[in-house]
Amino acid sequence: MSLAAPSAGTGGSILDGSSPRSRRLAPPRVGSLLQAAFWVVLILIILLPCLAFLVLAVSPRLFDQGRAYFTLHYLGSVFTGQTAVAIGNSLWVSALAALIGVAVGFPVAWCTSRTTVRGRGVITAAMWLVLLLPSWLPSLGWVRLVQIDGVMYRLGLNLPFVTHAVLGPAGVVLVLGIRNVPFAYLAISTALAGMGQEFEDAARVHGATRLGSIRVVAPIIAPAIWSAVAIGFAEAVSDFGVAATLAYQANFQLGTYQLYAAINNFPPSFPVAASMAWLLVASVGIPLALQARALRGRSYAVLSGRSRQIVRRRLGRRGQLLALSGIGLFFLVALGVPAFGAVSGSLMADYGGSSALSTANYSAVLHSSALTAPLLRSLLYGVITATVTVVLGYVAARHLTRARSRATRLLDFLLLAAVAIPSVIFAAGYIMAYNLPFLSHIGVNLYQTVGLLIIAYAASSLPTNARVLVGSVSQLQASLHDAARVHGAGPIRAWLRGVAPLLSRPLLYAWLLTFTAVFLELPISQLLYAPSQPPVSVAIEDNLANYHFGVGTAQSVVAVLLALAIVVCVLGAHRLLTPRGWRQVGAAR
């Protein structure tokens, strides 16, 4: 008899996790209480803040921000004046940035997926680096490079037309477009990897050139292309880093910074900010509607048992040179130029026209407690948030991989909706939800505390973290944990022996993804940090706002190097300290 088959009178087996013994391992009351506690946490950290901020636009009286319990005045006001200009700028800039992302990401994905271009692994790793760096860091590098009295002028390159081009709408579109290339690359390369060779062969047999075969393949992967456009638009319209650095320096107004200014002004205008939030969230529906219309009534099911394995087109010396030159040019613009601007700017004094190099700014950062404290503070915040988020993300992934129910569908929708909400709106929701007078009366004083900042970090990271873990968690059978329990192991020991070896690598990557995102996070930090305890991103922005350009850029360089060092140390510790079997799970041969 097969162990996986249920035997008579038992109703199940150990391997499928349905035996009476396995069902007795977790008492129903304990499981129900844990599930209820999980939902309470989700409601408090995600649903309540976002709903509170959005409801504020039409009912300011509920939050002591106006006299009306229901009004459309604030929603109407965002269609006029500077607010309307900022929203309009965000829409057309985001549309162009999404198109640039696809226009650049598609050929790079084609080269790495369909040709023998060299360094495919390095290209993918560099794409992840572009993706993981917060948008305000490359923006800062561009500003330091081309601004008047910046690095370019210190080196004797007086090119005012370059300054006007970068410090303007064109520069904003360029930086946001570069930011979108990794999203397009990952979406399209995945689609190309799963598509057989027969379509290209058929096109070539009928006389199509190599470019013509690409034209045949492109409509087949239209869902991936449209997904890249939708993701790129949503990322660009919700971006705050570029809006607060490059666009601000260029006096080019964008919606996210206008929303931040409405909250940060004195007195703050929360209803106007909430009305802008409605438009920013609703604008994400534009590319989704276009995608649905373009794909309606068409089938893209091309995979079958007869799909042919991909044969990479061998590139000659000229082809390799052209492909690597184009890809290298992209990474030069995406990483090299802003990195040069930031590093060279950090090696120059704050004031004066000398181009002499000096390490005075780095000495100030490393020897001044006022400059070192934000780095250590963000390091601690990142470690705590990543640890908490991975635990919650694992629990959420477990719920998402169970049988589809109303609770599962609701959780799925809630996490997807949270991904689409800009971080600045998330932070504003926490201000409204946890700064209400009645909370102080009952002894809940979370506003302007480190605790609320970490909670907001975790809430904003949880949706992405859960999505990262869903694929790996869905492959686990409940019998892995239950078998260890049957053999006498406690709950924690059973999880460590039966589940942890299979999930150590995905959990590690999810932890690193959250840590790097939180360590240099800007919009939530800017709105929610505790007084006199700024994270490193806020400290850098303060130095730049006070014209300490050299110190600010040196601080940003040190922060990036510290984050990379933590990533290397964590990966090295996993390799050295975990059992060999753990490292072999999921590793390529």
Q: Indicate if the alpha-carbon torsion angle 477, 482, 484, 486 is positive or negative.
A: negative
The pLDDT of residue 11 is 41
The pLDDT of residue 403 is 61
- For residue 312, the tally of other CB atoms under 10 A from its CB is 14
Is the pLDDT at 203 greater than 60, yes or no?
no
The pLDDT of residue 60 is 87
Q: Which residues pair with 144 in a beta bridge?
A: none
The pLDDT of residue 266 is 77
DSSP per residue over 318-358, as a string?
A: HHHHHHHHHHHHHHIIIIIHHHHHHHHHHTS-SSSS-----
pLDDT single digits (tens) 71-85: 888 888 888 888 889
Is the pLDDT at 305 greater than 60, yes or no?
no
Give the span between the Cα atoms of 238 and 90, in whole angstroms.
9
Band the pLDDT of 355: cuts 50, 70, 90: low
The pLDDT of residue 128 is 83
Higher pLDDT pick, 444 / 168: 168
DSSP per residue over 303-316, as a string?
A: --TTPPPP-PBPP-
Phi/psi-derived region of residue 253, left when phi > 0, alpha when psi is between -120 and 50, beta in every other case: beta
260-269, 276-285, 455-464: which is most confident? 455-464
What is the share, in percent, of the chain residues with pLDDT greater than 90?
Answer: 16
Instruction: Assess contact for 466 and 396: CB atoms under 8 A.
Output: yes
Phi/psi-derived region of residue 490, left when phi > 0, alpha when psi is between -120 and 50, beta in every other case: beta
Instruction: Assess contact for 333 and 178: CB atoms under 8 A.
Output: yes
The pLDDT of residue 212 is 57
Give the span between the Cα atoms of 167 and 197, in whole angstroms.
45
Structural domains for the chain: 59-296+315-348 (1.10.3720.10), 362-589 (1.10.3720.10)
* Burial (CB count <10 Å: 0-12, 13-18, 19+), residue 296: exposed
Size of the chain, expressed as the number of residues it contains: 589
pLDDT single digits (tens) 530-583: 988 999 999 988 888 787 878 888 888 899 899 889 988 988 888 887 777 665
* Burial (CB count <10 Å: 0-12, 13-18, 19+), residue 133: buried
Name the token pair of 453.
């900042």
Q: Indicate if the alpha-carbon torsion angle 6, 7, 12, 16 is positive or negative.
A: negative
3-class DSSP assignment, residue 115 = strand
Instruction: Assess contact for 210 and 188: CB atoms under 8 A.
Output: no
Higher pLDDT pick, 35 / 193: 35
Give the span between the Cα atoms of 141 and 181, in whole angstroms.
19
Helices within 56-80 (DSSP H only): 73-77
- For residue 510, the tally of other CB atoms under 10 A from its CB is 25
- Exposure b/e, 136-159, CB count within 10 A at least 16 = b: bbbbbbbbbbbbeebbbbbeeeee
pLDDT single digits (tens) 271-289: 888 888 888 888 877 776 7
Q: At residue 495, what are phi and psi to the nearest 5 degrees?
A: -65, -40
Band the pLDDT of 172: cuts 50, 70, 90: very high
Band the pLDDT of 191: cuts 50, 70, 90: confident
Lowest mean pLDDT among 8-12, 179-183, 455-459: 8-12
**What rounded mean pLDDT belongs to the chain?**
78
Site of tokens 């790793």: 125
By C-alpha distance, which of 561, 556, 554, 150 is closest to 346? 554
Integer CA distances (angstroms), 72 to 56, 58, 271, 325, 541, in order: 11, 6, 10, 54, 35
Give the span between the Cα atoms of 437 and 232, in whole angstroms.
39
Q: Which residues pair with 115 in a beta bridge?
A: 313
Q: At residue 447, what are phi and psi to the nearest 5 degrees?
A: -65, 140
Is the pLDDT at 205 greater than 80, yes or no?
no
Site of tokens 């005012």: 160
pLDDT single digits (tens) 13-29: 333 444 444 444 445 56
Instruction: Assess contact for 255 and 281: CB atoms under 8 A.
Output: no
Instruction: Assess contact for 585 and 505: CB atoms under 8 A.
Output: yes
By C-alpha distance, which of 306, 305, 339 is closest to 201? 306
The pLDDT of residue 9 is 41
Band the pLDDT of 375: cuts 50, 70, 90: very high
Mean pLDDT of 164-182: 92
Lowest mean pLDDT among 105-114, 310-319, 471-480, 561-570: 471-480
The pLDDT of residue 268 is 81
Mean pLDDT of 368-396: 90
Is the pLDDT at 490 greater than 90, yes or no?
no
Site of tokens 């924690």: 492
The pLDDT of residue 220 is 66
Give the span between the Cα atoms of 447 and 168, in whole angstroms.
36
The pLDDT of residue 16 is 41
45-49, 432-436, 521-525: which is most confident? 521-525
